[in-house]
Structure 1
Amino acid sequence: MKFTRRNAVCAAAGAGLALLLAGAAIAQPWPSKPITIVVAYPAGGDTDAIARTYAEKLSQRVGQPVLIDNRPGASGMIGNVWVAKAPADGYTLLFTPSTFPIAQHVLRVGSGVAHDVVKDFTPIVKTGNIPLLLVTSPTTGIKNVPQLIADAKAGKALTYGTPGAGSPMHIAGELLNKDGGVAITHAPYRGVAPVVNDALGGHVSVGWITPGAVAGQIATGKLVPLAVAERQRTKLMPTVPTLIELGYKDVDVSAWMGLLGPKGMQPEVVQMLNRHFNDILRMPDVQAKMAALGIEPVGGAPSVLAQQIVDDDQRFGKLVREFGIRAD
């Protein structure tokens, strides 16, 4: 075929169109397919429950399915690693509680789950704070924290229950021991429900728990709230004093939840997700669901979560070594 100027122009136009279409295929607007949020804990718990609420709301806003993928094991580290190794395209995210920066310090970490909580992830939004609550049964006769400490100093055999060794509750319990100059014995359980049951039965002197897990028992008088391990009183239980108010200045430990992605996510996608979640956290029905689970909405910029992780990694790493804490 004779090659003419017209052929050259058509060929150039065709090549340009092909490049344009290829570029459009590469640069599709996010999201153009389903999003997966990994929850590194079993289905049915508080973390899973609130993650599903957020997923439903996010799906409505972005027009794509948002799926929850439960990947439990090793105190969340299996799910964490799965997300750390995922493509940083905004389609695989991690929703995690505050065990995220603690687990690596309390577990004997194998190479298969090793990761760096500061360097291997992109913080997106801190969704909520969860106050840590110290409770007791009326049958124990413990009226308040000063009495608890006085009884311990007098040699009375006392125990504090938590949902597990190395949990934020365990760290709060050891900080109270240190500040109070006592040695109340730790009774670690496997999860929240056994702590509640044994606190109700008086089988442990006090229990460290989250408000959502015991709201019903407190309302009926079956459990008595003694204090929260927060710097300020929680809006969820405004009449309950903080341990700092009571003179235990170092007992400042709260749990939290947040959304992250793999390192290297596009800033535009991070900001879009952050805006969506800040809007979701202001929804009345979402706030009601969070309150029922004992979670206070936070939100804010990605830097809020980033700083929380850095601070917790440094502080809890030091405390875990100081107290010799190891997970079972």
Structure 2
Amino acid sequence: MPTIRRHVLAAALAASALSALPALAQGDYPAAKPVTVVVSYPPGGDTDAIARLFAEKLGQRIKQSVIIDNRPGAGGAIGNGHVGRAAPDGYTLLFTPNPFTTAPMVMKLSGAASYDVLGGYEAVINTATQPLVLVGNPAALGDAKTLPQLVAAAKAGKSVSYASPGAGSPMHIVGEWLNKAAGVKFSHVPYRGVGPSVNDVVAGHVDTAWVTIGAVRQYLGTGKLIPLAIGDAQRSRLAPEVPTLVELGYKDVVVGAWNGFFAPKGTPAAVVKLLNEHLNAILKEPEVVEKLAVFGALPAGGAPDVLARLNQREYAVMGKAIRDLGISAE
């Protein structure tokens, strides 16, 4: 083939390849279509409400509709798996709390029902943290007004129960970890969500509950519930008077809640960077900080690798705890 003809053919093929590139590679993202944020839980809960807050703010910044798609079921696995299988073009994102990391372990998922926690997604941003708090019904606790007093009462024969929003949840994990560390057996009562567990501890149907701070804040100031301990390593500025489990002598028992955005594996780095920058800016808005506090959440932020490392660390630490404690959602 003559040299000139080869050059013309090569130029034509290059032009054709460029025209076939997706819009996001041409710098137009996200002009092609709305961005869908999958939430693996039903509408109405904390995760859904926080996701909608970020979706509204993100849509304003990228000048494109950001739609929430609720896909609940199987401890979050249905929605999580859907995003893991979605096209890596930046138009499908996952907003999730940290059961994303542990669900395949506690749900005993297999085959098509599971997903690759560490290798199947691109981390975008760790949006917020939510400290876990152990609260008790003062009438049910009797003379025990602190966790050490309650542990002592349990060792002396008092029957103590604790509620969680579900078997295999971070609240279940911290409850069983505390049982082991303290040498007691607070009976686990799983519920389907935070709301029902809070309602029953307020009513006195269960003695205590592990929940997020936002879910019980209205009851802490009225005496209907009393705070006993925080699951994080440090005290929370949302409840600075409440001691941590570490302070109370259970130095290895550290479990918190967090949420963040992930994208399907292979999503272009430029898109991940753009989303990360916008969401970091959103997290600095006073209105957002104020609304997150209502849910007992504190803004986090940072580069995508902050979330990636958090996910990896939780997979290792919580995975070991789940195995050691025999935690299961079944």
Normalised to the residue count of structure 2, the TM-score between the two structures is 0.92
Instruction: Report the secondary structure of 1:285's partner residue.
Output: helix
CA offset digits 1:54-85 (Å, max 9, x no partner):
01111111111001000111011011111011
Task: Give the C-alpha shift of residue 277 in structure 1.
Answer: 0.5
> Which residue is equivalent to 1:196?
198
Task: Give the C-alpha shift of residue 219 in structure 1.
Answer: 2.1
Larger Rg: 1
What are the ranges of 5 or more consecutive residues in structure 2 without an aligned counterpart? none
> Which residue is equivalent to 1:77?
77
> Which residue is equivalent to 1:4?
none
Distance 2:247 2:157 in 1: 25
Runs ≥4 residues deviating over 6 A: none
Distance 1:51 1:147 in 2: 39
| Kept in 1: contact 2:132–2:210 (CA 8 A) | yes
What are the ranges of 5 or more consecutive residues in structure 1 without an aligned counterpart? 1-7
| Kept in 2: contact 1:233–1:241 (CA 8 A) | yes
Distance 2:260 2:199 in 1: 28
> Which residue is equivalent to 2:108?
108
> Which residue is equivalent to 2:323?
321
Higher mean displacement: 192-201 or 57-66? 192-201
Instruction: Provide the alpha-carbon RMSD of the alignment.
Output: 2.0
Distance 1:20 1:257 in 2: 39
| Kept in 2: contact 1:133–1:209 (CA 8 A) | yes
CA offset digits 1:175-194 (Å, max 9, x no partner):
11111111111111111122
Distance 1:219 1:270 in 2: 42
Task: Give the C-alpha shift of residue 146 in structure 1.
Answer: 0.4
Higher mean displacement: 20-29 or 241-250? 20-29
Query: Map of 1:38-187 to 2, 5 A cutoff?
Result: 38-140=38-140, 141=142, 142-187=144-189
> Which residue is equivalent to 1:248?
250
Distance 2:252 2:315 in 1: 17
**2:273 matches 1:260:** no
1:24 to 1:41, Cα distance in 2 relative to 1, 3 A: closer
Distance 1:120 1:148 in 2: 43
User: Given residue 123 of structure 1, which amino acid in structure 2 is its aligned partner?
Assistant: A
> Which residue is equivalent to 1:3?
none
> Which residue is equivalent to 2:297?
295
User: Given residue 71 of structure 1, which amino acid in structure 2 is its aligned partner?
Assistant: R
CA offset digits 1:175-218 (Å, max 9, x no partner):
11111111111111111122112211222221111111111111
Higher mean displacement: 198-207 or 303-312? 198-207
User: Given residue 40 of structure 2, which amino acid in structure 1 is its aligned partner?
Assistant: A
User: Given residue 19 of structure 2, which amino acid in structure 1 is its aligned partner?
Assistant: A
- Number of residue pairs matched by the alignment: 318
Distance 1:268 1:218 in 2: 45
User: Given residue 158 of structure 1, which amino acid in structure 2 is its aligned partner?
Assistant: V
| Kept in 2: contact 1:94–1:261 (CA 8 A) | yes
Normalised to the residue count of structure 1, the TM-score between the two structures is 0.92
> Which residue is equivalent to 1:30?
29
CA offset digits 1:280-328 (Å, max 9, x no partner):
0000111111000111110001111101111111122221111111104
Task: Give the C-alpha shift of residue 224 in structure 1.
Answer: 0.7
Distance 1:117 1:153 in 2: 39
1:21 to 1:269, Cα distance in 2 relative to 1, 3 A: closer
1:20 to 1:191, Cα distance in 2 relative to 1, 3 A: closer
Task: Give the C-alpha shift of residue 274 in structure 1.
Answer: 0.6
CA offset digits 1:81-128 (Å, max 9, x no partner):
110111111110000001001111111313221211100000000001
User: Given residue 303 of structure 1, which amino acid in structure 2 is its aligned partner?
Assistant: D
Distance 2:21 2:166 in 1: 50
> Which residue is equivalent to 1:5?
none
**Percent identity over paired residues:** 52
| Kept in 1: contact 2:177–2:325 (CA 8 A) | no
